Amino acid sequence: MYAVLSKMANGITVCYSEVFPDQNQDYFHCKYIGRLFLVADSYCMNPDCTCQEAVLNFVQVYPREDRDDNSFMIRFKLNGRGYKIHERGRFNKREIQGIVMHFTSDGTVLERLNERYKEMKEEVKKILS
């Protein structure tokens, strides 16, 4: 829990799996044109912040390439109205757009991200009380 508190104090987002470890639901999966991505979702733990965003880190795990730049990171608006690219790795803007659109296309991911955001905000209240 110290790591979570340290990140909170420094204004760093905290990965959902750090607060709620469960091997069955730690990460999202995204299959896109023959590639498999694990998607880690992180959230702001400032109880006073109303950012309504998730930081999503997409890591390509298949086909496995021995490269350090096999991931990209975005800040995704939880109302579904856009995102900002923070790190591109070896992915270009159009590629990222296609992957993100595919990942969020059915609506269930957006719903789940919002649920997790609420869970994280509730957990920080418990931690600080």
121: closest CA among 16, 40, 28, 6? Answer: 16
H/E run at residue 111: helix 108-128
19-51 pLDDT per residue, tens: 998 877 889 999 999 999 999 999 998 888 888
At 127, the pLDDT band (50, 70, 90 cuts) reads: confident
75-110 pLDDT per residue, tens: 999 999 999 999 999 999 999 999 999 999 988 999
2 pLDDT above the threshold of 70: no
Q: Which two tokens stand for residue 17?
A: 């799996």
7-20 pLDDT per residue, tens: 776 778 999 999 99
> Three-state SS for 126?
helix
Dihedral over Cα of 26, 32, 36, 39: its sign: negative
